[in-house]
Amino acid sequence: ATMPPLLSAIANAGRHGVLVKSAVAMERLAEVRRVALDKTGTLTEGRPRITEVRGAPGHDADEVLALAAGAEHLSEHPLAHAIVAAARERGLDVPRADEFQAVAGHGVSATVGGRRVEVTRPASDGGSAAGTVVVVTVDGVAAAELEISDRLRPDAAAAVRALREVTGTEPVLLTGDGERAAARVADEVGITDVRARLLPQDKVEAVRSSGEPTMVVGDGVNDAPALAAAHSGVAMGRAGADLTLETADVVVVRDELSAVPAVIDLSRRARRLVK
Ligand code: ADP
Ligand code: MG
């Protein structure tokens, strides 16, 4: 027996480790003209590590790191996991936090041992760091900078090339990170259209204003609004961010970015058979 082309394309995608949630989702994949990629967890592996802790003059780096870890240990963000892991690796106790608050695309704040602790993105790019930097503020005073590095996915550059080929348009990088970290990753994967320092809502705006059916590929909870606004929302599955998986039309279960151009190609072949 022969399956209708869209269903057999879904089954085929499944064999390649890509879950396409419906026949409509498969059709929309075939209509995609532009692809917007998130940085963290999409172009990079999404397993950031703290590479340096720079205490401000008069602040003990370990002490500030422990406070930061206390504030972060209730957050789901990959950066939060990295900060908690760094504190534990240094043998520091991670103190309990109260009054925890997370601001999507910005950072966290909490009361830790009676002190007001904030871990956030820096106000401007400044500094000399090439990668991502977050600032730890204790009782309103900048107490340390944490430098973070996250490896590129091994297939990121190849996947970007394949996306350009299959869509015939330039892929776009959308990130909440600073200009410099964004530019470095863009450079390494060959993306020329870069939008940095975007809040989750700015990513939605970028998708809506593109004027073409746009695919968003993302991972974290912060990308859920952009995935929902996209013509086709694709979640890189390993992230395990439930909200993102729910919002997405497509989930890449096999953790490879190259699966994305492959499934667009598959959807277009299926469409040709339908029409
Ligand atoms: P991306 O677009 O790269 O996935 P996000 O939107 O998740 O990035 O976050 C943007 C920026 O906000 C991060 O680069 C970081 O500076 C800051 N940030 C977000 N969440 C946290 C957190 N839990 N702790 C510290 N900084 C954070
Ligand atoms: Mg993200």
pTM: 0.86
Active site annotation includes 38: yes
Provide the pLDDT confidence category of residue 137 given band limits of 50, 70 and 90: very high
**Which pLDDT tens digit goes with each residue over 161-220?**
999 999 999 999 999 888 888 999 999 999 999 999 999 999 999 999 988 999 999 986
Q: What is the CATH number of domain 5-45+152-274?
A: 3.40.50.1000
CATH 3.40.1110.10-classified regions of the chain: 49-149
244 lines ligand 1 (CB under 6 A): no
Half-sphere exposure of 76 (CA within 13 A, CB side): 12
Provide the pLDDT confidence category of residue 88 given band limits of 50, 70 and 90: very high
- Mean pLDDT, residues 242-266 taken together: 88
CATH 3.40.50.1000-classified regions of the chain: 5-45+152-274
Tokens of 47: 């397993």
d(CA 124, CA 147): 15
Expressed in angstroms and rounded, the spacing between residue 34 Cα and the centre of ligand 2 is 19
Q: Are 66 and 157 in contact (CB under 8 A)?
A: no
Name the residue of 40, 53, 205 to mutate for ligand 1: max ligand atoms within 8 A of Cβ: 40
| pLDDT recorded at residue 246 | 78
- Residue 44 backbone zone (phi > 0: left; psi -120 to 50: alpha; other: beta): beta
Alpha carbon nearest to ligand 1 atom 7, residue: 105
| pLDDT recorded at residue 242 | 64
Provide the mean pLDDT of the chain: 91
| pLDDT recorded at residue 223 | 84
Expressed in angstroms and rounded, the spacing between residue 175 Cα and the centre of ligand 1 is 9
At the topology level of CATH, where does 49-149 sit? Calcium-transporting ATPase, cytoplasmic domain N (3.40.1110)
Asked whether residue 239 carries a pLDDT value surpassing 60, the answer given is: no
Alpha carbon nearest to ligand 1 atom 9, residue: 105
129 lines ligand 1 (CB under 6 A): no
